[in-house]
């Protein structure tokens, strides 16, 4: 993976997704509690050091997401939360979209984002 420009933008929604991903790994016994705590601590340090920057949810998020749903979902079959992620990236004027999800990647590419 090539290097990303810093800071990597997140919203409170992205922070919640990260927290839930860590907790799900604990639930699935893929990550011990101590390592989960360390991952949270590392993320907090990265926030403090400007690796990540948290931006508020834009007021126009759901309007933008609805437009994406109408224009892209009939052809791509995109799920709601994938649409929300891409809409946020567009509203925050991201130039690159980072994802491991193929459906999100297809939508982001369709909207002109580098994935």
Cβ neighbours of residue 78 closer than 8 Å, sequence gap 6 or more? 68, 69, 72, 86, 103, 104, 106, 107
User: Which tens digit of pLDDT belongs to each residue from 5-14?
Assistant: 889 989 998 8
Is the pLDDT at 3 greater than 90? The verdict is no
pTM of the full structure: 0.80
């Amino acid at each position: 993976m090539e290097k990303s420009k810093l800071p990597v933008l997140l919203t409170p929604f992205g922070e919640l997704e990260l927290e839930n991903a860590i907790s799900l790994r604990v639930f699935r016994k893929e990550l011990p509690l101590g390592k989960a705590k360390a991952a949270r601590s590392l993320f907090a340090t990265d926030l403090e050091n400007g690796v990540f920057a948290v931006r508020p949810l834009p007021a126009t998020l759901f309007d933008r997401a609805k437009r994406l749903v109408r224009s892209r979902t009939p052809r791509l079959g995109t799920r709601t939360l994938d649409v929300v992620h891409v809409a946020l990236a567009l509203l925050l004027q991201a130039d690159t979209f980072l994802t491991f999800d193929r459906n999100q990647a297809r939508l982001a590419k369709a909207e002109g984002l580098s994935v």
